[in-house]
Amino acid sequence: MKAIRLHTYGGPEVLRHEDVPVPAPKPGEVLVRVHAVGVNPPDWYLRDGLTVMPEEIRPKIDLPVVPGTDVSGVVEAVADDVTGFSPGDEVFGMLRFPGFDGAAYAEYVVAPASDLAPKPAGIDHVHAAGAPMAGLTAWQYLVEVGHDHPSPFQAARHRPVALGTGTRVLVNGAAGGVGHFAVQLAKWKGAHVTAVASGGHEPFLRDLGADEVIDYTRTRPEETARDLDLVLDAVGGPTSHRFLRTLRRGGALFPVFFAEVDPEEAARLGVTFSISQVRSNGPQLAELGHLLDAGTVRVAIDSTYPLSRAQEAHERAARGHIRGKIVLTGV
């Protein structure tokens, strides 16, 4: 079969399309014939040698390695002890995360059965492949964590904020993968949602249900938004602390990426600061799948590329300003 592998770390040019053996399922696993693969930030973090991660939590990677976690496809075979899936079933999933051995950039992949869910019948493989990591990240931040694994980022367990009518939520980076799911899930729960993105995304975000849109190229959201119950910062990083001033006492700031926030300032303002790490979860993905099947939540596709052109997909990601998800197709 064909797969994308990297033998050394570097830019998109290190992604090589080459022949590798078809894997065989071990106990608890399913062999999936892959139809589409979602492209996610951890894919290019891995390609770059995981330098974005603090060295003390950086896992050891044995090269060569096949990147990727998010797949949609058809079950080809199952291990003898797997009862939930059968050959011919359409499935989607986020594989083996937070590890980096999902090996999804391939024509076939072996997946833990527990990481998979039935593909929603109402969407195609491309849209299904765009859902797992971004959708589960938004779900585990906003709806239900769904696991008791300790976070490498904080000692306390992450706890979502109860969302409902009257809850005021701001989503920063709202047009991206996690962001556009967060907007929809918060609206599904009844919250009033303010979306922060560049102005060109406003029609897209309004269509997803955003009540307000702040164009960050014209207005600093931290200077206009006030009395929020929750900020989900899908951008994160060193500027996340600026959202502390937008929150009411008792509010919460949830950065999706590593962020720098003074805990003393957060405590003084009465704001909860919490960061989590998404984990594979087939049952949660099945719940999200019901929303996708009903059209309550949609997957936006920024662009698609054949598996053989994974390098171009990573180049597209590097240019930024992504609306929704990048997907590898024609697998």
Do 207 and 84 fall within a single domain? no
Distance CA 288, CA 238 (A): 31
pLDDT at 314 over 90: yes
Distance (Å, rounded) from C-alpha 150 to C-alpha 72? Answer: 28
Residues 99 and 163 in one domain: no
Confidence of residue 280 (pLDDT cuts 50, 70, 90): very high
Q: Which residue has the tokens 């022949």?
A: 19
Whether the CB-CB separation of 285 and 132 falls below 8 Å is answered with: yes
What total of structural domains would you count in the chain? 2
* Lowest-confidence region among 38-47, 173-182, 230-239: 230-239
| pLDDT for residue 255 is more than 70 | yes
Residue recorded with tokens 């060109």:
200
Average pLDDT of the chain, as a whole number:
95
Concatenate the DSSP letters of all residues of 67-115 into one string.
---EEEEEEEEE-TT--S--TT-EEEEE-STTSS----SBSEEEEEGGG
Query: What does DSSP say about strands 325-329 and 301-306: parallel, antiparallel, or unpaired?
Result: parallel
Of 273, 292, 314, which residue sits at a domain end? Answer: 273
Q: Which of 34-38, 60-64, 235-239, 276-280 has the lowest mean pLDDT?
A: 235-239
Rounded to 5 degrees, φ, ψ at 316 are -60, -45
Pair 216, 319 in one domain: no
Q: Which phi and psi (to 5°) does residue 187 adopt? A: -65, -40
Structure tokens at 50: 């995981």
Q: What is the pLDDT of residue 161?
A: 95
pLDDT at 263: 83
Q: Which residues contact 260 (CB under 8 A, 6 or more apart)?
A: 237, 238, 240, 241
pLDDT at 331 over 70: no
CATH code, 90: 3.90.180.10
Per-residue model confidence (pLDDT) at position 149 = 85
Last residue in a domain, options 226, 254, 273: 273
Q: How far apart are CA 88 and CA 80, in angstroms?
A: 16
Residue 44 or 259, more confident: 44
Calpha distance 173→179 (Å, rounded): 6
Extract the tokens encoding 71: 């797949």
Same domain for 160 and 266, yes or no, is: yes
Task: Give CA–CA dist 237/39, Å, rounded.
Answer: 21
Q: Is residue 289 part of a domain?
A: no
| Same domain, residue pair 14 and 71 | yes
| Whether residue 220 sits in one domain with residue 248 | yes
- How high is the pLDDT of residue 252? 97
Given phi > 0 = left and psi -120 to 50 = alpha, else beta, which region is 156?
Answer: beta
In this structure, what is the dihedral angle of CA atoms 182, 188, 189, 192, given to the nearest 10 degrees? 70
In terms of domains, do 214 and 114 share one?
no
Query: For residues 325 and 303, is the Cβ–Cβ distance under 8 A?
Result: no
Tell me how long the chain is: 331
Amino acid, res. 123: I
Please state whether beta strands 212-215 and 108-112 pair in parallel, antiparallel, or not at all (unpaired): unpaired
CATH number at residue 209: 3.40.50.720
Please state, for a pLDDT cut of 90, what percent of the chain lies above it: 87
User: CA–CA separation, 59 vs 53, rounded Å?
Assistant: 9
Q: Provide the pLDDT for residue 237.
A: 83
pLDDT at 231: 98
Residues 120 and 190 in one domain: no
Q: Does 120 reside within a domain?
A: yes
User: Are residue 157 and residue 126 in the same domain, yes or no?
Assistant: no
User: Is the domain of 125 the same as that of 220?
Assistant: no
Last residue of a domain, one of 273, 289, 308: 273
Amino acid at 160: P
- In which domain, by residue range, is 314 found? 2-133+300-329
Task: Classify residue 280: in a domain, yes or no.
Answer: no
Bridge partners of residue 330, in order along the sequence: none
Q: 153-171, pLDDT tens digit by residue?
A: 888 889 999 999 999 999 9
- Judgement on whether residues 39 and 90 belong to the same structural domain of the protein: yes
Q: Which two tokens stand for residue 113?
A: 């059965």
In a domain, 138, yes or no: no
What pLDDT digit, counting tens, does each position of 94-107 carry? 999 999 999 999 99
State whether 19 and 124 are in the same domain: yes
Inside any domain, residue 22: yes
294 domain residue, yes or no: no
